Structure 1
């Protein structure tokens, strides 16, 4: 049987047997995540019917991302971070967009997609960026051979922060908040990390790194720049071994719950074509003053 095979931009004719074509099709997608056969479904090797009713949703998220089920303590810390990120009100652009979309007639899937699409580097990315910062400091400690010696933490932290400042960075994600003088989620989550570290559930290394960053960026300032929810959930996700990309992904999962709740609430409340502010308030126009159209329109 004649077919073609891709080689870069070229399609080269080949001859393959029916079985070879079946084998090629089976190799097209490869996954360690799920195995689906007629009458059978397994996630990471566990039959779905055994997971249902015995394993929680948070455990299942962990299983899908990490490949194994978490311990109860790991799942509890992971869940705490997810709960903290669920919602921050209509002032958050993603939530506002979900609500506005429904007033334009969008169904729930479109409203949620519109909101999730703005969870990008500025609105949805600081947690991931903060994880990357913590991991860079951790890598600096390891580079100089201080794998478990946190005495050199302040030095490594200042070195990495200065490296970022030299590159033009003036804002460090995960610290400070435009609304909260002290993010109410941070102390509670940090206390849970400390308790988990005391019990040996996590190492506590990234909690120390996060606190060192807060100390360093607050140094010499009249007011301390406190860690926010992105900074503390970044600690948790680093402690639990998630990658920065997974960290952003689970933040989006958590915030999707708030997005859904607000979209459905707005559908219940009704309203048509609601913009980001009431029509009575208007906006600031900065263009030319009102002027007549010239009589001579020869342009």
Structure 2
């Protein structure tokens, strides 16, 4: 069966079909909006929303997304992704290579807590939809999550901060948007329910951290769990870039994960030797 040029053109047009952007000579439209109308009139958080969701957000939605992005940009050079960007730069990688190396570390363990917290909240929300009371839904959701994923509960507690300084401010903004009607506050209620459950079980506060609160924001704004991680990566990329650029200016070479003056612990066999008379291998 012969294939005409028209058939091939249709095949090529369909191969990478997209509803995101339409480009022709002299024309660029993003989700239907001419790019020149967006430039200077739309903020970067609004542009992120437009690209991912297909429509422009309202001002309250955009400002809440922006707050989450601002809060997550950096957590110091001891954070693995940031440390990787600095080490990679000192090893001679250009900025793009350092950023790529660091972003690749943002997987389930380091970088996935926000996505996992959204998934936890969604499972509790599903139990609420099925008619369970809040306390019962929270307890069942947490127990199911722990049974499947282990005792670590994403979004609560922090190994460095007794109280995460970012969380309180973000919760204030969430509560303000609930009061104004911009969001309904369902996931904020769920997250606070988890916080209360942990306090009862552990007999001490286990407050929400940055991942738990930004997960509330992403869930309230309707972002899918996987997109919550993707948007977090957009935010953390700013910190990664800043640290890589700062490291570039220091002119240091081949920095390892800790200063060379500090010994690591060797736990292998004690010094030993080949038996006398052992012959070297040939070839």
1:20-49 deviation per Cα after TM superposition (whole angstroms, max 9, x unaligned): 111111010111110011110010000001
1:4 corresponds to: none
Distance, in Å, in 1 between the alignment partners of 2:246 and 2:6 is: 53
1:50 corresponds to: 37
Distance, in Å, in 2 between the alignment partners of 1:295 and 1:40 is: 79
Q: Does 1:92 align with 2:79?
A: yes
2:172 corresponds to: 191
1:248 corresponds to: 229
Q: Does 1:264 align with 2:264?
A: no
Of 79-88 and 288-297, the range deviating more from structure 2: 288-297
1:281 corresponds to: 262
Q: Spell out structure 1 runs of 4+ moving beyond 3 A.
A: 165-168, 296-299
Distance, in Å, in 1 between the alignment partners of 2:19 and 2:277 is: 71
Instruction: Indicate how the Cα distance of structure 1 residues 42 and 211 shifts in structure 2: closer, same or farther if over 3 A, else same.
Output: same
Q: Does 1:237 align with 2:218?
A: yes
2:140 corresponds to: 159
Quick check: 2:120–2:145 contact (8 Å CA) kept in 1?
no
Distance, in Å, in 2 between the alignment partners of 1:220 and 1:160 is: 15
In the TM superposition, residue 296 of structure 1 has moved relative to its aligned partner by: 4.6
Q: Does 1:64 align with 2:70?
A: no
**How many residues align structurally?**
280
In the TM superposition, residue 143 of structure 1 has moved relative to its aligned partner by: 2.0
Match of 2:61 among 68, 74, 82: 74
| Root-mean-square deviation over aligned CA pairs | 1.3
2:120 corresponds to: 133
1:205-258 deviation per Cα after TM superposition (whole angstroms, max 9, x unaligned): 000000001111221323211110000000000000000111000000000000
Match of 2:156 among 175, 191, 212: 175
Distance, in Å, in 1 between the alignment partners of 2:199 and 2:146 is: 14
In the TM superposition, residue 297 of structure 1 has moved relative to its aligned partner by: 3.5
Q: Which structure 1 segments of 5+ residues have no match?
A: 1-13, 147-151
Higher helix share: 2
2:88 corresponds to: 101
TM-score by length of 2: 0.96
TM-score by length of 1: 0.91
Quick check: 2:146–2:153 contact (8 Å CA) kept in 1?
no
Instruction: Indicate how the Cα distance of structure 1 residues 217 and 16 shifts in structure 2: closer, same or farther if over 3 A, else same.
Output: same
In the TM superposition, residue 270 of structure 1 has moved relative to its aligned partner by: 1.2
